[in-house]
Amino acid sequence: MKVLVTGFGPFDRFGTNPAEELVRSLAASRDDIHCLVLPVVYGKASEELLTALEHRKPDLTISFGLNPTIGHIALEELAVNLRASEVPDTSGRTVSEESIDPKGPLALRSLLPLRRMMTRLREEGIPCKLSYSAGVYLCNEVFYTLTRWCMENGKIGGFVHIPLSSELVAADRTLSGSSSLPAGTLAKAGSIILDEALRSIR
């Protein structure tokens, strides 16, 4: 079984990205997992993801991204064929209502067993919700690109948003009052999500 987990590097005002820390910890915990940290750059993130997917042909790919406005795990249901933002990517670029793939469908559904994941996470006391919008920033672009590749290649994949880590909030006074979860809880959530996804394809 080949497994790929992806996260993003730092962006905007966040010098550390909990999604990067999460995927690195998942890969370090198991020999059968490869992690990829994507740049927060329009186009380049998708290119690097597709290169890894074509090279490794993973059976399962789970992408994680940071949503600093939430305090729970958000299991993303829908990726839309649109990118737009007022916040620039790390190259300084902003986009306005561009199609990710001009020939692609308007929206794609996650291929992960989201409801089973939600049930298991809640049983473990980890706050979790289904989300029907991954936004239109880089997370959505990667989610759409990944889901389309998986559908075309008979593989499984999807996207999960995580909140800030409590440790990051505590260390940065500009984030004071932000919703968060402890890094240990985020790591446990990532492991549960991975286990439930693997169960669906074994």
Query: Could you give the CA distance from residue 84 to residue 95 in angstroms, rounded to a whole number?
Result: 5
- Is 139 catalytic? The answer is yes
- Is 76 catalytic? The answer is yes
Phi and psi for 165 in degrees, rounded to 5?
-80, 145
| Helices 183-199 & 114-123 angle (0-180, nearest 10) | 140
SS3 of residue 41 by DSSP: coil
Catalytic residue from among 20, 77, 161, 196: 161
Query: Could you give the CA distance from residue 149 to residue 170 in angstroms, rounded to a whole number?
Result: 38
Catalytic residue from among 139, 141, 150, 196: 139
CB contact at 8 A, 159 and 76: yes
CA distances from 87 to 5, 44, 92, 106, 137 (A): 25, 17, 9, 23, 9
Catalytic residue from among 20, 76, 77, 196: 76
Phi and psi for 128 in degrees, rounded to 5?
-155, 145
Q: Which residues are catalytic?
A: 76, 139, 161
